[in-house]
Chains A and B, each alone.
Chain A
């Protein structure tokens, strides 16, 4: 709610120091800076708004982080804003990991993640190769089919997809999630297609003159050159699979097949009143994301920009 105030007060305030604004305009600098235009008040408001936004982003996470280290009695007697008395109390994490079946969740997520990523990369690069490097009848139709599919929100078609997964005998297997992650990813195809256009065709042609067939060109020339695009797809798709809730929830209800999302969701029932255990499970799920973000920051930003606008 605090964020609302920021945007409403901001524009009116910037009008205020208009006298200084005009005077300072001569001091235009190379580094794009707002301070010569806004004056000290504007600069202060800017930092205040940024700090409020960061507080809004962090506080909900910090309080659940603190709750994860509290013992049961301590949780019952202390408020959510109080830090835990012992920061090394890892009991809740152990409970979440073992009796909350988080361990199985991480194993299942990893298996699904690896297989789906390999599949998505092979499928995506093959499609992009076929569409970009061949002239054939029906090429436009194929492109149109992939394009149109981006408009169909997967969430609407699950009612009917369920029957297909069931008919294939994949219900309640990891295969259901794998096949759906592989088969419905069109963004990856676009990223590969875009990147493929920057690989000169003369490379293909030179190899062809040397007697290479299409399969060799794809696997020895195109595929290795697509490595940066593959890295982008691994990041975007990897995050999406790690975070996916709906597909495993719907198609893998068995307790042994929980992925991290569904394992964590099941905490709501038996641990409904034990918030310190739920908090520990939540933190266990968040930590890998935080580590990935810190290590791959740049790639995540550029990957999302290229993925979302296509």
Chain B
């Protein structure tokens, strides 16, 4: 219940600041904006900032999630993360998804470029390539469990071209992460594709005409007209790809539950917290992940500064 008093605190603080200034100026009372902001800010603080603060606190304890006392243990949890190889090693799994994400961006850029030129059935192609992105994650997981299972769709397709002995796509530890990363590409490519396509289509036609007058080749058009005008969105997509690869969860959790070496850092964190009741250690893992994601975002802001301050 200590949490409850935390919600109303900002609203009350705003009230106490204003009693002397109750003159209704043209801009309204000073307290008015805070009346509009009380609920949104309360929810933001309660469900984003309080958890982050608590998480940092828990990460320095050996709390199990139930005990009344939270025993402080200093940096022990963090030392454990970086010294026990089986905890940190799962980050290597992210590399598969990272490679998948780059492939996904290249494919998305290719199809966006191709479809930005006049093409027969363009809207059909666009719709079909994009549609997987809209699907429910569990449905995708089951669709691909069916696709990859022994004797499933993939094996049947391979059988058509004469491959009889197909490997266990989800059972073989050397293949499972590739299969899962491919599923992830199938799921998310459509979003990148539509975003790139939108950016390319916003390029004024005159630029192409001018380039054609100057005798530019199609590669030059791509390199000097299309690429610069979508660099912003490509930069953003790259960063989202990296932080997405670090925090992969849904696809492997739904499809394999982390079996056969497909466990990711987030699955491990969730299991540590809710299966093995080591909330302290899990919090430390979550803090490490949060710091990594923040670092990636910071790098993005360094290298792809936004053209105009959006929230000034």
B residues near A225, Cβ cutoff 8 Å: none
* Min CB gap A62→B, angstroms: 9
Assess whether B128 is in contact with A57, with CB atoms less than 8 Å apart.
Answer: yes
Of B33, B138, B146, B160, the residue contacting A63 (CB under 8 A) is: B146
Q: List 6 A-B contacts (CB under 8 A).
A: A21-B218, A32-B205, A57-B132, A130-B36, A261-B136, A293-B131
Judge if A218 is at the interface, Cβ distance under 8 Å.
yes
Q: Are A153 and B290 within 8 A (Cβ)?
A: yes
The verdict on A54 contacting B128 (CB below 8 Å), with A160-B54, A160-B55, A282-B143 known, is: yes
By a CB distance below 8 angstroms, the chain A residues around B279 are: 159, 163
Q: Which of A47, A168, A189, A305 has the most CB of B within 10 A?
A: A305
* Most chain B CB within a 10 A radius of its CB, from A25, A134, A246, A260: A134
Contact size range, A: 35 or more
Report whether A149 and B48 are in contact in the complex, using a CB–CB cutoff of 8 Å.
yes
Whether a CB of chain B sits under 8 angstroms from the CB of A114 is no
CA distance A157 to B54 in the complex (A): 9
The reply to whether A164 and B46 contact each other, CB–CB distance below 8 Å, is: yes
Judge whether B153 and A59 touch: CB under 8 Å. Answer: yes
Q: Which residues of B contact A142 (CB under 8 A)?
A: 37, 41
- Contacting A30 at CB < 8 Å: which of B51, B125, B205, B294? B205
User: Shortest Cβ distance from A13 into chain B, in angstroms?
Assistant: 12
A208 to B54, CA, bound (A): 44
Tell me if A94 counts as interface (CB < 8 A to partner B).
no
Report A's interface with B, CB cutoff 8 A: 1, 3-4, 6-7, 10-11, 14, 18, 21, 25, 28, 30-34, 37-38, 46-47, 49-50, 53-54, 56-61, 63-64, 67, 79-81, 123-124, 126-127, 129-131, 134-137, 139, 142-143, 145-147, 149, 151-153, 155-164, 167-168, 179-180, 182-184, 186, 189-190, 193, 208, 214, 218, 239, 242-243, 245-246, 250, 260-262, 264-265, 267-268, 275, 278-279, 281-282, 285-286, 289-290, 292-293, 297, 300-301, 304-305, 308-310
Q: How far is the CA of A162 from the CA of B55 in the complex (A)?
A: 11
Given the known interface contacts A81-B156, A214-B28, A246-B249, the answer about A282 and B137 at a Cβ–Cβ threshold of 8 Å is no
Given contacts A261-B137, A261-B138, A286-B135, are A214 and B147 in contact (CB under 8 A)?
Answer: no
A293–B134 contact, CB under 8 A?
yes
Q: Does any Cβ of A come within 8 Å of B282's Cβ?
A: yes
A143:B311 contact, CB within 8 angstroms: yes
A79, B146: Cβ atoms under 8 Å? no
User: Quick check: B114 and A46 within 8 Å, CB to CB?
Assistant: yes
Instruction: Determine if B273 is an interface residue (Cβ-Cβ < 8 Å).
Output: yes
Known: A155-B249, A182-B43. A308 touches B114 (CB 8 A): no
Is B153's CB under 8 angstroms from A28's CB? no
Please report the C-alpha to C-alpha distance between residue A76 and residue B208 in the assembled complex, in whole angstroms.
Answer: 57
Contact B26 A208 (CB under 8 A): yes
